[in-house]
Chain A
């Protein structure tokens, strides 16, 4: 028994030794950064980009298996199973402060969500120049340029279940734009929206404008002329425990990375993952290498 105990202590000691050995000398001890992508390619690539970048700087990072969407990300951030999430700011606003006024100005959105995240002991860092806006997508041959143009066309709308309860989505289409849809169909968010549109099961879908299939299929995005879609820049959100442990170095490093991510990058990543069917971790690593960050 004593020898077993000694062996275990020795093992534990070795484990500790290894931890500090692999850690960068400049980085103080602190909790492992727990991050997880939401369950669609762009979000997974984003999580990989932030995670691999922070790992290369010497922070302890654990990339969890992608799962769930915004709801789970935020509730796990609150519960402490995650301490870093990456989200679309307009989406965060709709989730955390559903009664606040949606805005297409990112700074106004940030003002709302900064407080909302502070309430759950988290801090929103700078948003990216990259925007993955909501998009009202129709087939290329539809004679319309703006969402207003389709108000009395009697279209069939396909969208995810979330859309139907949101003023920034279905409720906005019907109440702000006064659109009368002939019918609606609930379709899980993702490429299947494009399949449904191409197969003429529906005439319009609510998608995101960085979906590479929009170009591949020859669809077009209608202009949100009455401005119901919120600003959807991307922002990393950190649990305060991380900022307390790692200080401004971590915040500055993340902000530096966020400033480099553009909408074109998102489009390029999504083309790689969802048209070329390459994996998010590879795509993320290559991009970081191109930027000279790895």
Chain B
């Protein structure tokens, strides 16, 4: 019993250090480890689902230069959709349908949050692929399908992945609303901290989520670098060896999240 209690509520004068160093904080059903697992699992599922929903459709439409205005508008509306309201509206529906508090309402709401930016970055990335490369492929007799799959997508992959990374960080930072809607995950500490007026829990929970979001960004950046298609890497290397452009290249990494945003404007 005291074990359950230890996780549900802590004295208000517990310091952050005491909280983080107490093994009870980390273990058990309400512990950090389980909560972290819950959060990571949901966020990963959301990102995978959004990528499956957004990337193929968007890449195809961009390749055919279809639905530019329509998709820009849909993406815009999607971006303005208040996630919390969507999730909150879905919770009672899910409860009445016998699906419980989790995971569907929050999963759908977060997926709706991530699909628009991923759709947009894919669309822009494919559309902005150097026309010369596309025409060269066509001249070499590539089918349209091959142009999309072996030329446009590889060349666009960096920007698409950057869009995915930005979306992933946003999902991790937004996922805590789940705890306010009958769910678990790392947001539980923020919820309990606010509810119990306990700053240690609120700040501790915030720290955990900010850290996870930061770690997500760093990990995905690392994967992005490692997984960059060989040809694209060589292309970059060629470019950076050209005189006069070297210092432009060394800042692109930092500027990348905005790069996809900046590109976003050109679509609209």
| Contact flags A178-194 to B (C-beta < 8 A → 1, else 0) | 00110011111000100
CB distance A180 to B1 under 8 Å?
A: yes
A71 CB-CB contact with B under 8 Å? yes
20 residue pairs of the A-B complex, CB under 8 angstroms, read A160-B195, A161-B195, A164-B5, A164-B8, A164-B9, A170-B5, A170-B8, A184-B4, A185-B182, A186-B8, A186-B179, A186-B191, A187-B182, A188-B181, A192-B91, A192-B182, A195-B96, A198-B95, A199-B96, A199-B98
B196 neighbours in A (Cβ, 8 Å): 161-162, 164-165
A181 neighbours in B (Cβ, 8 Å): 4
B188 CB-CB contact with A under 8 Å? yes
CB distance A188 to B180 under 8 Å?
A: yes
Instruction: Give Cα distance in the complex from A187 to B191, angstroms.
Output: 10
| Contact flags A63-97 to B (C-beta < 8 A → 1, else 0) | 00000000100000000000000000000000000
Task: Beyond the given A195-B92, A199-B96, please list 12 additional residue pairs across the A-B interface where CB-CB is below 8 A.
Answer: A161-B191, A161-B196, A164-B5, A164-B8, A164-B192, A184-B8, A186-B179, A186-B191, A186-B195, A187-B101, A196-B182, A201-B182
Minimum C-beta distance from A13 to chain B (A): 46
Report which residue of A71, A161, A170, A188 has the largest number of chain B beta carbons within 10 angstroms of its beta carbon. A161
B194 CB-CB contact with A under 8 Å? yes
A176 CB-CB contact with B under 8 Å? no
A24 CB-CB contact with B under 8 Å? no
| Contact flags B2-44 to A (C-beta < 8 A → 1, else 0) | 0011001100000000000000000000000000000000000
Q: Which of A141-180 contact B (CB under 8 A)?
A: 160-162, 164-165, 170-171, 174, 180
Known: A187-B182, A192-B182, A201-B182. A165 touches B96 (CB 8 A): no
Instruction: Give Cα distance in the complex from A181 to B5, angstroms.
Output: 12
A196 neighbours in B (Cβ, 8 Å): 95, 101, 182
Instruction: Give Cα distance in the complex from A160 to B179, angstroms.
Output: 11
Instruction: Give Cα distance in the complex from A180 to B1, angstroms.
Output: 8
Known: A71-B197, A160-B195, A201-B182. A165 touches B9 (CB 8 A): yes
B100 CB-CB contact with A under 8 Å? yes
Instruction: Give Cα distance in the complex from A75 to B95, angstroms.
Output: 36
Chain B interface main SS type: helix
Seen from chain A, the residues whose Cβ lies within 8 Å of a Cβ on chain B are: 71, 160-162, 164-165, 170-171, 174, 180-181, 184-188, 192, 195-196, 198-199, 201
Which chain A residue has the least Cβ–Cβ distance from B179? A186
Known: A184-B8, A187-B182, A192-B182. A201 touches B192 (CB 8 A): no
Minimum C-beta distance from A263 to chain B (A): 26
Minimum C-beta distance from B169 to chain A (A): 26
B100 neighbours in A (Cβ, 8 Å): 199, 201
Instruction: Give Cα distance in the complex from A71 to B179, angstroms.
Output: 20
Instruction: Give Cα distance in the complex from A180 to B101, angstroms.
Output: 23
Instruction: Give Cα distance in the complex from A161 to B182, angstroms.
Output: 11
Instruction: Give Cα distance in the complex from A201 to B184, angstroms.
Output: 14
A186 neighbours in B (Cβ, 8 Å): 8, 179, 182, 188, 191-192, 195
Report which residue of A186, A188, A198 has the largest number of chain B beta carbons within 10 angstroms of its beta carbon. A186
Which chain A residue has the least Cβ–Cβ distance from B88? A192
Which chain A residue has the least Cβ–Cβ distance from B11? A165
Specify which of A160, A174, A185, A198 is in contact with B1 (CB 8 Å cutoff): A174
B91 neighbours in A (Cβ, 8 Å): 192, 195
The 3 A-B pairs of least Cβ separation, nearest first, read A161-B195, A165-B9, A164-B8
Instruction: Give Cα distance in the complex from A269 to B30, angstroms.
Output: 38
Which chain A residue has the least Cβ–Cβ distance from B93? A195
Instruction: Give Cα distance in the complex from A188 to B179, angstroms.
Output: 9
A180 neighbours in B (Cβ, 8 Å): 1
B8 neighbours in A (Cβ, 8 Å): 164-165, 170, 184, 186
B95 neighbours in A (Cβ, 8 Å): 195-196, 198-199, 201
A185 neighbours in B (Cβ, 8 Å): 101, 182
B180 neighbours in A (Cβ, 8 Å): 188
Minimum C-beta distance from A78 to chain B (A): 14
Instruction: Give Cα distance in the complex from A195 to B192, angstroms.
Output: 21
